[in-house]
Amino acid sequence: MQQAIWDERKLQIKYERADGEYIERVVSPLGLVAKGSTWYLIAGSIEKIRNYRASRIKSVI
Protein backbone atom coordinates (compact mmCIF):
# COMPACT_ATOMS: atom_id res chain seq x y z
CA MET A 1 0.00 0.00 0.00
CA GLN A 2 2.80 2.38 0.88
CA GLN A 3 4.46 1.90 -2.51
CA ALA A 4 1.14 2.53 -4.29
CA ILE A 5 0.80 5.82 -2.39
CA TRP A 6 4.28 6.91 -3.49
CA ASP A 7 3.67 5.80 -7.09
CA GLU A 8 0.15 7.31 -7.16
CA ARG A 9 -1.27 3.96 -8.35
CA LYS A 10 -4.84 2.77 -7.90
CA LEU A 11 -5.46 -0.37 -5.88
CA GLN A 12 -8.17 -2.99 -5.98
CA ILE A 13 -8.90 -4.02 -2.41
CA LYS A 14 -11.06 -6.68 -0.82
CA TYR A 15 -12.23 -5.34 2.54
CA GLU A 16 -14.15 -6.89 5.44
CA ARG A 17 -16.64 -4.40 6.85
CA ALA A 18 -17.42 -4.27 10.57
CA ASP A 19 -20.64 -6.23 9.92
CA GLY A 20 -18.62 -9.08 8.34
CA GLU A 21 -19.65 -8.32 4.75
CA TYR A 22 -16.87 -8.30 2.13
CA ILE A 23 -16.65 -5.58 -0.48
CA GLU A 24 -14.29 -5.03 -3.40
CA ARG A 25 -13.43 -1.53 -4.45
CA VAL A 26 -10.90 0.25 -6.68
CA VAL A 27 -9.36 3.11 -4.71
CA SER A 28 -6.75 5.84 -5.11
CA PRO A 29 -4.65 5.66 -1.93
CA LEU A 30 -3.88 9.01 -0.31
CA GLY A 31 -2.07 8.02 2.88
CA LEU A 32 -1.68 5.78 5.89
CA VAL A 33 -2.72 7.08 9.31
CA ALA A 34 -2.22 5.62 12.78
CA LYS A 35 -4.77 6.22 15.52
CA GLY A 36 -3.22 4.72 18.62
CA SER A 37 -1.99 1.30 17.53
CA THR A 38 -4.55 0.95 14.70
CA TRP A 39 -3.56 1.78 11.11
CA TYR A 40 -5.95 3.09 8.45
CA LEU A 41 -5.68 3.52 4.69
CA ILE A 42 -7.16 6.83 3.52
CA ALA A 43 -8.27 6.53 -0.10
CA GLY A 44 -10.52 8.11 -2.67
CA SER A 45 -13.02 6.15 -4.70
CA ILE A 46 -15.71 7.11 -7.20
CA GLU A 47 -18.06 7.85 -4.34
CA LYS A 48 -15.88 9.85 -1.91
CA ILE A 49 -12.84 9.76 0.36
CA ARG A 50 -13.02 6.90 2.84
CA ASN A 51 -10.88 5.27 5.49
CA TYR A 52 -10.23 1.53 5.67
CA ARG A 53 -8.90 -0.21 8.76
CA ALA A 54 -5.69 -1.86 7.54
CA SER A 55 -6.27 -5.07 9.50
CA ARG A 56 -9.57 -5.60 7.63
CA ILE A 57 -8.04 -5.33 4.15
CA LYS A 58 -7.90 -8.96 3.04
CA SER A 59 -6.25 -8.53 -0.37
CA VAL A 60 -4.62 -5.82 -2.46
CA ILE A 61 -4.02 -5.94 -6.21
Rounded Cα distance, 19 and 32, in Å: 23
The confidence score (pLDDT) of residue 10 equals 96
Burial class (CB in 10 A: 0-12, 13-18, 19+), 29: buried
Query: Which tens digit of pLDDT belongs to each residue from 9-37?
Result: 999 999 999 999 999 999 999 999 999 99
Arithmetic mean of pLDDT, 46-57: 94
* Length of the chain as a residue count: 61
Say what the pLDDT of residue 46 is.
84
Flag whether pLDDT at 51 surpasses 90.
yes
Rounded Cα–Cα distance for residues 49 and 20 (Å): 21
pLDDT value for 45 = 87
What structural domains does the chain harbor? Answer: 2-60 (2.30.30)
Mean pLDDT (the chain) is 95
